[in-house]
Amino acid sequence: MVLIAPSILSADFSKLREDVIALEQAGADMIHLDVMDGHYVPNLTFGPQICKAVRNCTKLPLDVHLMVTNPDEMIAWFADAGADYITVHAETCKHLDKTLQAIHARGLKAGVALNPSTSEQVLEYVSDKLDLVLVMTVNPGFGGQSFMSEQLQKINRIREMRETRRFQIEVDGGINMQTGAECVAAGADILVAGTAVFAGGNYKSNIKALR
C-alpha cells in the first residue's frame, strides 16, 4: 500500500503540535520536513529545532528533506533532533557517496532527491547505499506548484533501476488524488503532500482519498 507523508510546510505553525498529533491519528505514515536555506532554493523554512519539536509529539518516522547548500554539516544536527530519514540533493554534495555513508553512520536511512532537470543517472554508482529516491515533480522551493507530468517517465525509469536494488521511491510536488494515482502507477511508494492533506482540515478523509 502506498505511504502518505504529509509535509508540515502546509501546517499551521501556531498549532504545530496539534496538527502533527492529528496527522498521526488520521493515518499518516510519516511526517515530511522540508528544510530550505534561502540559498539552494528561494525560500527559508526551519531548522533542527522544529524537527526536535515534531519528534517530541509523534512516533511516526520523520522524513527530512534537506534543500540546502551544506547538507554534510546538517546531518548531525537533524540526526540529534530525531530524524529517521535524511534526503539530500545530488547537486549539493561534493562527494555524494561519502554523504550517504555519513547518514548511515548515524543510524538513519539515506535518500537522494532529484530535481526536475536532474537525470536519474546520478543514482547509478550510489544505488547500493540508497534507502530512498525522492523525485521532485515541481522545482523545489515553494508549496502549491503545478505537477510536472513529464516526471512520470523518470519515476518509471527509476522503478526499472530498482529491479536489482532495494530502495523506496518517493514523489513530492503538486500531489493530489489524480497526480498521486499517476505516480503510484509509475512506481511510487511514498507520496508527499501538503495542500492535499491540509485542505479543509479533514486530514483523515484527505489521507484516505490520497491512499
* Residue of 37, 63, 84, 172 with catalytic role: 172
Strand order in the sheet with 109-114: 3-6, 190-193, 168-172, 132-136, 109-114, 85-89, 62-67, 31-36
* Residue of 19, 29, 34, 63 with catalytic role: 34
* Cβ contact 70:94 at 8 Å: no
Separation between Cα atoms, residue 100 and residue 130, nearest integer Å? 8
Annotation says 37 is catalytic: no
Q: What is the DSSP letter of 127?
A: G
Annotation says 34 is catalytic: yes
Separation between Cα atoms, residue 168 and residue 158, nearest integer Å? 10
User: Can you list the alpha helix ranges (DSSP code H) found in 38-193?
Assistant: 48-55, 71-80, 96-105, 151-161, 177-186
- Using the structure block, give the residue that is written with the C-alpha cell 540526526: 79
Q: Looking at the annotation, which residues are catalytic? A: 34, 172
